[in-house]
């Protein structure tokens, strides 16, 4: 029967696979519901397309899982990517045949659900989606699916350009998911109640005409002789030319997760996270997350306090992370830090801020946060090594700011700070990257001076820059991985050969090849779907894991799959785009005005030539017309509220 558990088929095999606990479910605060009457129940299988240890802590999935399950007529369960040994077991199967992709909650086959929703925070999860579809027995291509197959729906940041996976998904949703998953559920319930009129096509049409769900099959894409897109045109009446993102406007009304999932197996984060605000308007030009989540919407200090208390009580976690794109920017972060530290004085509850900007205020915060628990590491992200580079990316951190901040850290007892940079930014030269070494040396010298000690350390961590859709750098050429690697080899050499500092500076960098693939998938169009499928057919899985990622497999597959199209990997990655080129995601509306993005790109190039152009944060300066608020009918929501966190009655 649909919805029946397959656990009895999995259980005898669990002793033969690694970390079997990840397939068992039953975590504290997880939910198992009755399958329900078909016409009255809407069932979602939710997937974070990576292993359990990465997927379980994902906030997006956890929030939607709760929001959906709170409705008595909705069933939502979770599924994760299975490791190769489990895949083998499932494909071999038993006397009933192969064991299908199953949910960890009630071990139901994913193919039995009405909707299969996947959250992509990175494009490197695409092959895991194909593997899950195949294991689930769901036809891989959306065009081949029938009325009984789930609607395959993509969300998350990567869904702002879902074109490379357009052949495999039925729909995509841009932006905040809380409200739209309920709206989608209503449409599906209505359609099922009516006896599924018009089949799959009709339910997708109903979703598409709502204006907030993108259904790729309802858009035709034509290509010009030079390989660029000529036009993207809706092919059904009533389907909008542009599909809009969703913006949740009252975070206090949606205090999720309220029942944090407590993992059974080890996961990448073991803490309870509260999102203290959404959006960022600092205007860093490389940052897709900041651009696509505008405007800033803060959660109030009191709701944050309630969520922290409730989450700790319900989960038993001892660490609380205050999440956002730049947590120290919350207008009441000082009061939040002190209020929470006071509340949990003498208890083993530590608080952490995962991302902080470079200023001395963060040391005070870090001190407050470590008052009741262990001291967390300090990471700052100047992103660019030279002042010129930081002007290009609009990350206006001066060397003076950085040195002053680390001096405060070292003089307050920290022995180690981490600095995060990117390599391959537009207009970057060797000198810009070598400036990272100078900065790190100055940091160490200052640390030794203020602390009077010699065991000061600084870890320089470097990531390769990948231009992303809906950012001012969406037109930029990506640096090829050979040049990136060569630049970083020079940097490492400069650091290592200086005997005074070499041992005090740690260096973290892998290689630039995954960045090239990420670049292909980020700015790709529908033709890239064939590449993804070829990689999966050749065994590609878990591309976000260096031990599973194969650059050669991607390049060989791309060469074969793109043959005859006139375009290749370089065309998608290292080529700079012109203003009038139709970009694959132009029909997907993040709210950002394309002309504003272009002007900001030109400002970046002007900054590279030494012009003094800075885009300030619109939270504190007048609106600079990025377009989001009028387009999406939203506005910035920030404090201060002037409220204080009161001590809890019972501690
Ligand atoms: S429209 Fe104006 S206020 Fe709104 S996010 Fe853009 S710059 Fe800021």
CA-CA distance, 400 to 54, in Å (whole number)?
Answer: 37
Tell me the average pLDDT across 448-455. 92
pLDDT exceeds 50 at position 651:
no
Residue 414 belongs to some domain of the structure = yes
Tell me the average pLDDT across 409-423. 90
CA-CA distance, 566 to 229, in Å (whole number)?
Answer: 12
Q: Is the CB of 281 within 6 Å of ligand 1? A: yes
Question: Total structural domains in the chain?
Answer: 2
Q: What are phi and psi of 637, to 5 degrees?
A: -125, 100
Residue nearest ligand 1's atom 2 by CA: 623
pLDDT exceeds 60 at position 154:
yes
pLDDT exceeds 80 at position 592:
yes
Residue 237 neighbours by CB distance under 10 Å: 7
CB 151 within 8 A of CB 185: no
Residue 35 neighbours by CB distance under 10 Å: 17
CA-CA distance, 62 to 80, in Å (whole number)?
Answer: 13
Expressed in percent and rounded to 5, the helix, strand and coil fractions of the chain are 40, 15, 45
Tell me the average pLDDT across 400-428. 91
Residues 478 and 627 in one domain: yes
Residues 240 and 295 in one domain: no
pLDDT exceeds 60 at position 650:
no
Residue 2 belongs to some domain of the structure = no
pLDDT exceeds 90 at position 243:
yes
Q: What percent of the chain has pLDDT over 70?
A: 97
CB 525 within 8 A of CB 221: yes
CB 498 within 8 A of CB 442: no
pLDDT attached to residue 264:
86
Residues 144 and 286 in one domain: no
Residues 210 and 340 in one domain: no
Residues 347 and 436 in one domain: yes
CB burial readout 558-581, b (16+ within 10 A) else e: beebbeeeebbbeebbbbebeeee
Residues 337 and 231 in one domain: no
Q: Is the CB of 420 within 6 Å of ligand 1? A: no
Q: Residues 355-382: pLDDT tens digits? A: 566 665 667 777 777 777 666 678 888 9
pLDDT exceeds 50 at position 568:
yes
For the range 240-244, what are the long-range contacts, defined as Cβ-Cβ under 8 Å and sequence gap of 24 or more? 240/208, 240/209, 240/211, 241/587, 242/587, 242/588, 242/589, 243/174, 243/211, 243/212, 243/213, 243/214, 243/587, 243/588, 243/589, 244/174, 244/211, 244/212, 244/589, 244/591, 244/632
Find the CATH number of the domain harbouring 208. 3.40.50.280
**351 bridge partner residues:** 320
Residue 543 belongs to some domain of the structure = no
To which H or E segment does residue 529 belong? helix 529-537
Substitution candidate for ligand 1 out of 329, 591, 628, 632 with most atoms within 8 A of CB: 628
Residues 183 and 288 in one domain: no
Q: Is the dihedral of CA 44, 50, 52, 55 positive or negative?
A: negative
pLDDT attached to residue 641:
86
pLDDT exceeds 50 at position 95:
yes
CB 542 within 8 A of CB 548: yes
In the DSSP assignment, the letter for residue 259 is S
Tell me the average pLDDT across 222-227. 97
CA distances to 225, 288, 396, 602 from 474, rounded to whole Å, are 22, 9, 21, 12
Residue 11 belongs to some domain of the structure = yes
Find the CATH number of the domain harbouring 410. 3.80.30.20
Residues 395 and 512 in one domain: yes
| Selected residue with higher pLDDT from 365 and 541 | 541
pLDDT exceeds 90 at position 75:
yes
pLDDT exceeds 90 at position 206:
yes
| Selected residue with higher pLDDT from 347 and 304 | 304
pLDDT attached to residue 365:
76
Residues 83 and 132 in one domain: yes
Residues 348 and 201 in one domain: no
pLDDT attached to residue 373:
66
Residue 114 belongs to some domain of the structure = yes
Domain that holds residue 418: 271-523+573-632
pLDDT attached to residue 637:
93
Q: Is the CB of 295 within 6 Å of ligand 1? A: yes
CA-CA distance, 609 to 619, in Å (whole number)?
Answer: 28
Query: In the predicted model, what is the mean pLDDT of the chain?
Result: 94
For the range 249-252, what are the long-range contacts, defined as Cβ-Cβ under 8 Å and sequence gap of 24 or more? 249/297, 249/634, 249/637, 250/297, 251/275, 251/277, 251/278, 251/297, 251/298, 251/299, 251/303, 252/299, 252/300, 252/303
CA-CA distance, 217 to 201, in Å (whole number)?
Answer: 10
CB 215 within 8 A of CB 207: yes
Residue 175 belongs to some domain of the structure = yes
Point out the domain boundary residue: 227, 244, 261: 244
Confidence of residue 59 (pLDDT cuts 50, 70, 90): very high
Residues 278 and 392 in one domain: yes
Q: What percent of the chain has pLDDT over 90?
A: 83
Point out the domain boundary residue: 244, 279, 310: 244
Where are any strands of DSSP class E within 72-141? 74-80, 115-119
Tell me the average pLDDT across 511-525. 97
pLDDT exceeds 70 at position 219:
yes
Global pTM exceeds 0.85: yes
For residue 411, with 0-12 CB atoms within 10 Å meaning exposed, 13-18 middle and 19 or more buried, which class applies? middle
Looking from the CA of residue 635, the nearest atom of ligand 1 is 4
Q: Residues 617-648: pLDDT tens digits? A: 999 899 999 999 999 999 999 988 888 887 76
Distance from the alpha carbon of residue 631 to the mean position of ligand 1, in angstroms: 10
Residue 644 belongs to some domain of the structure = no
Residue nearest ligand 1's atom 4 by CA: 629
Lowest mean pLDDT across 191-195, 354-358, 541-545, 638-642: 354-358
pLDDT attached to residue 347:
85
Residues 234 and 355 in one domain: no
Residue nearest ligand 1's atom 6 by CA: 626
Substitution candidate for ligand 1 out of 175, 281, 292 with most atoms within 8 A of CB: 281
Residue 85 belongs to some domain of the structure = yes
In the DSSP assignment, the letter for residue 645 is P
Tell me the average pLDDT across 204-210. 97
Q: Is the CB of 628 within 6 Å of ligand 1? A: yes
């Amino acid at each position: 029967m649909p919805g029946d558990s397959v656990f009895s088929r999995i259980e005898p095999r669990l002793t033969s696979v690694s970390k079997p606990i990840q397939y068992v479910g039953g975590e504290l605060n997880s939910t198992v519901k009755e399958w329900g009457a078909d016409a009255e129940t809407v069932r979602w299988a939710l997937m974070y397309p990576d292993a359990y240890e990465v997927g379980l802590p994902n906030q997006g999935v956890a929030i939607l899982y709760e929001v959906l399950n709170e409705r008595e007529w909705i069933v939502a369960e979770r599924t994760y990517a299975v490791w190769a040994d489990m895949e083998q077991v499932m494909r071999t199967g038993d006397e009933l045949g192969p064991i299908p992709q199953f949910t960890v909650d009630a071990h139901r086959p994913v193919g039995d659900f009405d909707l299969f929703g996947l959250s992509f925070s990175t494009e490197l999860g695409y092959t895991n989606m194909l593997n899950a579809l195949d294991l689930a027995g769901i036809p891989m291509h959306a065009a081949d699916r029938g009325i009984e197959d789930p609607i395959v729906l993509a969300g998350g940041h990567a869904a702002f350009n879902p074109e490379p996976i357009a052949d495999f998904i039925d729909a995509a949703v841009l932006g905040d998911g809380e409200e739209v998953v309920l709206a989608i559920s209503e449409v599906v319930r209505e359609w099922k109640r009516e006896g599924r009129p018009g089949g799959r096509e009709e339910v997708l049409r109903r979703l598409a005409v709502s204006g907030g769900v993108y259904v790729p099959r309802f858009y035709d894409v034509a290509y010009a002789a030079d390989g660029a897109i000529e036009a993207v045109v809706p092919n059904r009446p009533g389907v909008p030319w542009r599909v809009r993102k969703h913006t949740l406007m009252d975070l206090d009304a949606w205090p999720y997760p309220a029942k944090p999932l407590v993992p059974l197996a080890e996961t990448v984060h073991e803490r309870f996270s509260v999102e203290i605000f959404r959006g960022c308007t600092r205007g860093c030009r490389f940052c897709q997350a900041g651009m696509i989540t505008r405007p800033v919407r803060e959660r109030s200090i009191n709701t944050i306090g309630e969520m922290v208390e409730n989450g700790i009580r319900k989960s038993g976690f001892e660490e609380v992370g205050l999440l956002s794109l730049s947590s120290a920017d919350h207008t009441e972060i000082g009061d939040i830090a002190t209020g929470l530290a006071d509340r949990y004085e003498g208890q083993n509850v530590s608080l952490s801020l995962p991302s902080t900007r470079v200023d001395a205020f963060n040391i005070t915060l870090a001190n407050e946060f470590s008052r009741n628990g262990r001291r967390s590491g300090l990471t700052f992200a100047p992103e660019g090594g030279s002042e010129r580079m930081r002007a290009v990316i609009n990350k206006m951190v001066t060397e003076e700011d950085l040195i002053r901040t680390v001096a405060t850290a070292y003089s307050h007892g920290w022995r180690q700070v981490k600095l995060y940079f990117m390599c391959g930014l537009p207009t970057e030269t060797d000198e810009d990257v070598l400036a990272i070494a100078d900065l790190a040396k100055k940091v160490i010298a200052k640390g030794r001076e203020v602390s009077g000690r010699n065991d000061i350390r600084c870890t320089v961590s470097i990531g390769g820059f990948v231009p992303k859709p809906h950012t001012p750098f969406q037109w930029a050429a990506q640096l090829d991985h050979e040049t990136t690697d060569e630049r970083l080899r020079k940097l490492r050499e400069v650091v290592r050969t200086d005997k005074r500092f070499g041992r005090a500076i740690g260096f973290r960098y892998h290689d630039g090849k995954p960045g090239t693939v990420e670049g292909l998938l980020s700015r790709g169009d529908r033709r890239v779907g064939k590449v993804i499928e070829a990689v999966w057919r050749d065994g590609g899985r878990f591309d976000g894991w260096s031990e599973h990622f194969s650059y050669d497999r991607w390049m060989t597959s791309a060469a074969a799959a793109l043959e005859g199209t006139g375009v290749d990997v370089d065309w998608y990655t290292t080529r700079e785009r012109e203003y009038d080129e139709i970009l694959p995601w132009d029909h997907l509306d993040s709210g950002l005005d394309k002309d504003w993005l272009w002007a900001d790109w030109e400002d970046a190039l002007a900054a590279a030539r030494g012009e003094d152009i800075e885009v300030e944060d619109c939270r504190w300066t007048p609106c600079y017309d990025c377009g989001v608020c009028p387009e999406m009918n939203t506005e910035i929501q920030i404090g201060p509220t002037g409220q204080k966190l009161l001590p809890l009655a019972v501690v």
